[in-house]
Structure 1
């Protein structure tokens, strides 16, 4: 949930909507560029039954409304942390297939070693820093990438995992 939505109990704007995509869902996503909403099954199954019934009804309504569209068979979802390319460790760069080019596409001659190699590198090193590449595409140092990590929310274990929600008093009754 967006921070603004979490911190505010005020309703979404109820004025006229100029574009049908500019409604409460657009506002909930805020200024993010996220294209999907991923929810932990463990957390949803841990919510009160009346909440689960409301969510289920909304999801079923969404499914019926767009049944006429072709949908992907599955999605690949994994927990991750977000980093700027410039802040990645060498191990993270390797994991993501990101390479650094400090020499503007040039490669030192194979016969250079020791001091001669260091001299060549100093003469050819890009003063603006490295250029990063991934899958044949150039990345800016400020580009943000996802590094896979462990998920801190436990697996639902066929419905056996329960995490007590901390609900405001009005929601828990």
Structure 2
């Protein structure tokens, strides 16, 4: 069987991202600088080559990166929805009149309540109930100034002798 050549947009990087819709890959500095020096040199060379190849393209000044956990909207509890700034509309945009008795409210609710709520993000945009959203989380990897994390590399890995701090 003859291998088909990669197209520029579906090559090894596209394959590495797999079926995700991610637009970025965040690389943890602590882990990268804990790798052997030979690996770090190759990585820096690749990063510099990438930077140099796109010097002619406007780049963002910086990014904000935050550790998070991924959740599906319709599987989230009330506290998670609140943390994500997601509101649910169970009444098709209707608001119950003020001063209803419990019996009157139950009747109003029976009239307007929908089988599934419509969800909105904190900016008022409607969300698909099967959408994935992120909730901030604590980063389990310590800051690079406070940690060296021993990589688990094969014994024959080039440069293993330089893996210790």
Tell me the TM-score normalized by structure 1: 0.85
Within 5 Å, give how 1:21-60 maps onto structure 2.
21-60=9-48
Count of aligned pairs: 157
Matched, 1:133 2:123: no
Which residue among 67, 90, 99 is the counterpart of 2:87?
99
CA distance in 2, matches of 1:44, 1:156: 9
Query: What is the Cα deviation at residue 14 of structure 1?
Result: 6.1
Structure 1: runs of 5 or more not aligned = 1-12
Corresponding position of 1:120: 108
Query: What is the Cα deviation at residue 122 of structure 1?
Result: 2.0
CA distance in 1, matches of 2:52, 2:3: 26
CA distance in 2, matches of 1:122, 1:57: 65
Question: RMSD across aligned C-alpha pairs, in angstroms?
Answer: 1.6
* SS of equivalent to 1:43: helix
Q: Which has the higher contact order (CA 8 A, sep 6+)?
A: 2
Corresponding position of 1:73: 61
* SS of equivalent to 1:146: strand
CA distance in 2, matches of 1:125, 1:72: 45
CA distance in 2, matches of 1:14, 1:29: 20
Structure 2: runs of 5 or more not aligned = none
